[in-house]
Structure 1
Amino acid sequence: MPKPYFGTHEPLPESRTLRAGALSCLYEQGTLRYISAQGHELLRMIYAALRDEHWRTVPFTIHNEVIRQEEDAFLITYTARYALGTLRYEGTFRLEGTSEGTITVTMQGTAQSTFQRNRIGLCVLHPIQGCAGQPVLISTPEGERYEGTFPESISPHQPFQNIAGMRWVDASDAVLTLDFGGDVFETEDQRNWTDHSYKTYSTPQHRPRPVLVQPGDTVEQWVTLQLIHAPTRYQEEVSRVDAPRVDTPGVDTPGVDTPGVDTPGVDAPGVDAPRLLMPCLGYARNATYGPLTEQDVVLLRQVPFAHYRVEVALSQPDWKADWAAAQAEAQQLGTSVELVAWVGHDLRQELPPLLGTLADSPVRVRSLLVLPRQVPWSASWFAEVAALVRQQGVEVPLGYGTDGYFAELNRNRPPEAPGYDFVSFSVNPQVHAFDTRTLIENVSAQRYAVETARQFLPPGVPIHVSPVTFRIRNYPAGPESTLPPDQDPRHTTELGAAWMLLSLKYLAGAQRLTYFETTGPKGIIPGAPSTSPSPETYPLHRYLARIRAFDPSWILDLRVPEPFVWDVLGLENARGEQLYFMVNFSTEPRQVTLPGLAGAHFLAAESIHEWFVANNPDEPEKIG
């Protein structure tokens, strides 16, 4: 029986490496991943997606799978049966790679029930590294052509539309073409949702949705990738900050795990690495849990706790009691409050009573973000809020931003004349996919959101990322869900802790980060009453407590060549000491070298290792 992966209850899915001439890729659960040539990733993935009217991704099972694999070619056929509640859909797929360096994916789908959909069809993911800044020639269904460029900073809207074909030269000088059939395609920048890719998909967003699907309705689409010219630049000539993770030794794809081979180290040596100020860390209140116990407070005081995110629903009759309870909890925790006020129907009636409580609050209200429940958030909404706050004479820092994704802030950029004291947006890694590989891939994409925000903000405006969660919040539950849709069992494992440590690394540059909740299945501790003198906590709590004990002032800006295989969070405190958390995502043990630290470091498979470095040490002291 396959062993669980990285502290979770589930093993990685079965996969195999395929070749199509000079191309290689990983086949896994009906998808082609990490399509590469000579060690350069050219496409991240080709896959099919069915999204219902709530944008829920409909799960599928694979049947009648047939795989024919040759040395430099392959042919795979299978049937995918999609089911969610009463929704039923069936797709027949053919994936073919030829010795000429061509890969074609064909989908023929038929509805088995009546349902509403937002999308049915094939999608192609393009890696950021190798594509960003590269020109691309777009062919339209009408036979016309136009030129574009894969965006370097995050594009708020689709950079390419009305696509029938694409031709581009990537950073390795490989020349590629993509041809699409069966629908009109367009491309979006998925970094808006902290995904690590651009996505080319069908069903353009300007079309009305959802669409009613009747039994017997069919969809037929195809995508063909052709390698026109192989890469001419060696891998080390191209910046490989974002190489993918592939757990099959000996395969000519980026990020291959080859036991016994040293992995290149980071490109900034030890104490000379660029430094970013350590963000202030806080956590969100779990309003459904009830009052914090004495044991909860003891455990929560062991982690960095600069603020307590409190949400108050002003349209609810009991909001004053809820706000008073939250302030009492913040007093117990010895921390300040990051206040989020939700307005129901009438801003001018609902907000002033809350504003009137702030001057006499028993805790410091460090920030205020006012958001609407009934109308879309926008710049005009903020202008009305700001005017009302000024009228009341409130001196609490006021935020411009959203409870949603970076996409919302990016598409509603703040006005040039500030009137706001900080901007805010949230992050989670599972907007479009939920598998473990994608979870790992997406964590390093978080840095693009901070970097892009910094480009359009006036100098010195703080960035708050709040909250950072492991799963989508406010996501409609599926009819067959065994867990609430905002919970993920991986959150409370070593994998969840590794993801949090690296999220902290890649969100460095923001001033405040709010991670998860304090207690419960989405928290950093369980929160269940216990009489044990050493109550159980999640791995998240253990690593956060270690960070608090170390008391870092800076995050070291360390870039590794294969972050989907292994990565490192480096911290430095005011005493000049350094603390490294090295994460090995691989199913194989590895040796890694960090310039500035003596010797190579052995990392066990699927593990987090700690290294502590005293000021000007001869040898690092391994402490975990």
Structure 2
Amino acid sequence: MVADALKLFGTREEPAASRRLRAGRLEADLVSGNLRTVAFAGVEILRAVAYVVRDRDWGTCDPPIRDLQVEEDDERFRVRYRAEIEAPDGARLAYSALIEGTADGTLAFAVEARPDRAFETNRCGFCVLHPIRGVAGTPLRVEHTDGRVEDARFPDLIEPWQPFQDIRALAHEPAPGLRATCRMEGDAFEMEDQRAWSDASFKTYVRPLARPWPYRMEAGTPDRQSVRLTVEGAPPKTRATGRADGADGPVALRIGAPLPDPMPRFGLAVAPEETEAALARPDRLRDLAPAFLLFHFDPLAGHGEAALAAFARVAALLPEAERALELVLPDRDAPADEAGRAAHLVRASGLAPQTVVVGPAADRRSTPPGSAWPACPPLEEVYRAARAAFPRARLGGGMLSYFTELNRKRVPLDGLDFVTHATNPIVHAADDLSVMQTLEAIPFITRSTRAFVGAKPYRLGPTTIGMRQNPYGSRTMPNPDGRRVPMAHDDPRARGLFGAAFLVGYAARLAGSGVEAWTGASLAGPRGLLPAEGRTAPAYHVAKGLAALGGARRLELRSARPGAVDGFAVRRADGRLELWLANLTPEPQEATVEGVGPGATVSLLDEAAFDAASGGNLPPERPAGERLRLPPHAVARIVAPQAP
């Protein structure tokens, strides 16, 4: 592990150890007892094969691996291990696993699990992830449990519900000349389109969601499941795997023509518990100069007059910024009454929001397949009530949660000035690779939203790494030790270079989306740009750059390996060219940029510059050479003085 893990990841917790398994042309990474980046002949076949146990809040259990045995030679590998999970009530689930791979392209993963007494879980079994890159929209053959075969396609636009159910096997062509079949035994499987949560995968998982959950596994009864992958044929040429660091040589980037949509306006989220820290650092708020502030107001969380008064004080520090209010209606009285009471408090506070985003409390909860929809006033009534209560404000609606919920409950558009939703990259997994890979899904999310909102203006709500609310359980996950935890309200990587690189990568994937405004960070609090000790996170400097470039003319920027190095380019009002690039990997990368003229300068935010950046200073500019060396998770800002 590198010495500066705290600077890279905001935590000294080491990432889970990874071991590359090889059998001829078959390869896979063994991580925490599961398989990642399963590839054959250099082509990624499966993103993951994982045995997963989830609790009643859909939290993922992470038991230690015991008695690990790995045997490997040129033609085969074999892995054995044991693991045990203890539930809060003391029940234990023990399981043993066997993984075997052979050079002919066969991979088998089998698990037997046995609880010592009734064991409560929302899911216990295999999840198989197909990558989305090069797979979305392509042919797929589905074999069902009754033997029926269906010729279909992986979804192109994101499916709100399971595209395939009652699955026994899936067959697809990951590359011309290559055919892969994945057979799953032990129960009925079904597929969900994980892009909805910004995961970069189609997930096929055990136990249909239409069955009750949580459920109890019976004491002493073994549960046996297996996944078997077979690969036939060969691609016309070796291709890079899905690993971001899997190709040699510098990453080539090329600047192209102007894009039709400008850079989105960049704003900050502000919750009541974050106002004190924001008010204590007025210099940082003014220096960052976001285009808008999104104030979150939820009467069910006890927010009232004091919260709104504090919002007004924060807004007064930046009078030129748009004041946006995110209003939760409690669903206890008529929408007109609740919106009217909120408007009365807002007027008394002096906040005077120019924009109001409204949503009923019921819609913050997910409604999974097979579940009953919660009671909720018609959204047309909610929006009419908000319009009447705030007649001078632009009105936004959609979901205060994520795209998943918006896609499942598509809102009426006629009463809205814009549609919005949030995203979060740690709903299902929180390892570094999975979080960065979620960036692949962002263009699918924005394109799928456009497919049903049409030309209606479109905004993105908070998109921080840490989760501010959990629509899928009773709470977000506490993270006092600063670990990599799915659904955690506080993710330490936001305070490291990782968080800055993620923010650049997210901005890169908004190209062509038509998103007009984007809440990409919080100023303070556990997901904020100002850590508790009063210093600035590296992402602060990226956010400042994004705020300054809102509305600028965006240029096409193509990366030969966007999973390794990606970024965005703009033509500023003064005619100069500005680029932001990020190394999205934990390995050093080199990059070349075609289309940058002479006299360009670069400012590099990396481990060496971390301390100065934490004090609020972006590293000084230096001449940019033909090749740019980007240390792990480094961010580079390049400015060219004139058009090339």
Instruction: Verify same fold: TM over 0.5.
Output: yes
Q: CA deviation at 1:71?
A: 1.1
Partner of 2:429: 433
Q: Which residue of the partner structure matches residue 251 of structure 1?
A: none
Partner of 1:76: 79
Offset of residue 118 of structure 1: 1.0
SS state of the match for residue 281, structure 2?
A: helix
For 1:113 and 1:537, the matched residues in 2 are separated by 49
Give 1:320 shift: 2.8
2:402 equivalent to 1:405: yes
Post-superposition offset of 1:323: 1.7
Counterpart residue number, 2:386:
389
> Which residue among 166, 185, 189 is the counterpart of 1:162?
166
- Deviation, structure 1 residue 82: 2.6
Q: In the TM superposition, what is the alpha-carbon distance from 1:336 to its structure 2 partner?
A: 2.4
**Correspondent of 1:31 among 31, 34, 50:** 34
Aligned to 1:601: 628
Confirm or deny that 1:172 pairs with 2:176: yes
- Read off the aligned partner of 1:286 and give its amino acid letter: A
Aligned residue number for residue 349 of structure 1: 337
Q: Does 1:297 align with 2:282?
A: yes
Amino acid at match of 2:114: T
Distance 1:389 1:565, change over 3 A: closer
1-structure distance, mates of 2:556, 2:440: 12
1:443 aligned onto 2:439? yes
Secondary structure, in 3 states, of the residue corresponding to 1:45? strand
Which amino acid letter does the alignment assign opposite residue 578 of structure 1?
L
Q: Secondary structure of 1:523's partner?
A: coil
Kindly provide the amino acid, as one letter, of the partner of residue 464 in structure 1: R
* Alignment check: 8 A CA contact 2:266 2:550 kept: no
Compute the displacement of 1:601 (Å). 2.2
Which whole-Å CA distance do the structure 1 matches of 2:2 and 2:536 have between them? Answer: 27
* 1:16 paired residue number: 19
Q: CA deviation at 1:20?
A: 3.4
Provide, for residues 235-269 of structure 1, a one-character-per-residue CA deviation record: whole Å limited to 9, x for no partner. 4xxxx8xx6335xxxxxxxx4154xx233x23xx3
Q: TM-score, normalised by structure 2?
A: 0.85
Can you list the C-alpha shifts for 1:262-282, whole angstroms capped at 9, x where unaligned? 33x23xx32535363111111
Shift of the alpha carbon at 1:464? 1.5
- Return the alpha-carbon distance in structure 1 between the equivalents of residues 643 and 479 of structure 2: 57
Tell me the secondary structure at the aligned position of residue 53 of structure 2: strand
Separation in structure 1 between the aligned mates of residue 479 and residue 506 of structure 2, nearest angstrom: 31
Find the counterpart in structure 2 of residue 7 from structure 1: 8
CA gap 1:571/1:225 in 2 versus in 1, 3 angstroms: same
TM-superposed deviation, 1:321? 3.1
Counterparts of residues 23-172 of structure 1 (less than 5 Å): 23-83=26-86, 85=88, 86=90, 88-172=92-176
Give 1:466's match in structure 2, choosing from 461, 465, 484: 461
Alpha-carbon distance, 1:18 to partner: 2.2
2:643 corresponds to: 616
Q: Which residue of 2 aligns with 1:323?
A: 308
Alignment counterpart, residue 353 of structure 2, candidates 358, 362, 365: 365
| CA pair 214-564 structure 1, distance change in 2 beyond 3 A | same
Deviation string 1:255-311 (CA, Å, 9 cap, x unpaired) is 4154xx233x23xx3253536311111111131245356651110111141221112
For residue 576 of structure 2, what is the aligned residue in structure 1? 577
Q: C-alpha distance in 2, partners of 1:190/1:57?
A: 16
State the SS of the aligned residue for 1:162: strand
- 2: CA distance, partners of 1:515 / 1:115: 40
Contact 2:507–2:567, Cα closer than 8 Å, also in 1? no
In 1: Cα distance, 2:294 partner to 2:466 partner = 17
Shift of residue 501 of structure 1? 1.6
Shift in Å at residue 17 of structure 1?
2.2
Is contact 1:309–1:338 with CA below 8 Å preserved after alignment? Answer: yes
Give the deviation of 1:26 after TM superposition.
2.0
Distance 2:338 2:549 in 1: 43
Cα shift readout 1:213-249 (whole Å, capped 9, x = no counterpart): 34324321001110022223664xxxx8xx6335xxx
Q: Which residue of 1 aligns with 2:227?
A: 223
Given candidates 159, 178, 201, the residue that maps to 2:205 is 201
Aligned length: 590
Task: Return closer, same or farther for 1:304/1:233 CA change in 2, 3 Å cut-off.
Answer: farther
- Measure how far apart 1:539 and its partner are: 1.0
How has the CA–CA distance of structure 1 residues 12 and 325 changed in structure 2, closer, same or farther, with 3 Å as cutoff? closer
**Matching residue's letter, 2:529:** I
The C-alpha deviation readout for 1:82-133, integer Å capped at 9, x for no partner, is 3454453222111100122100110111224544211000111101112111
Distance in 1 separating the partners of 2:227 and 2:109: 5
TM-aligned CA distance change 1:543 to 1:17, over 3 Å: same
Return the match for 1:256 from 241, 246, 249: 246
- Report the TM-score when normalising by structure 1: 0.87
Q: CA deviation at 1:357?
A: 5.9
Name which of structure 1's ranges 25-34 and 373-382 shifts more when overlaid on structure 2. Answer: 373-382
Unaligned runs of 5+ in 2: 366-373, 598-625
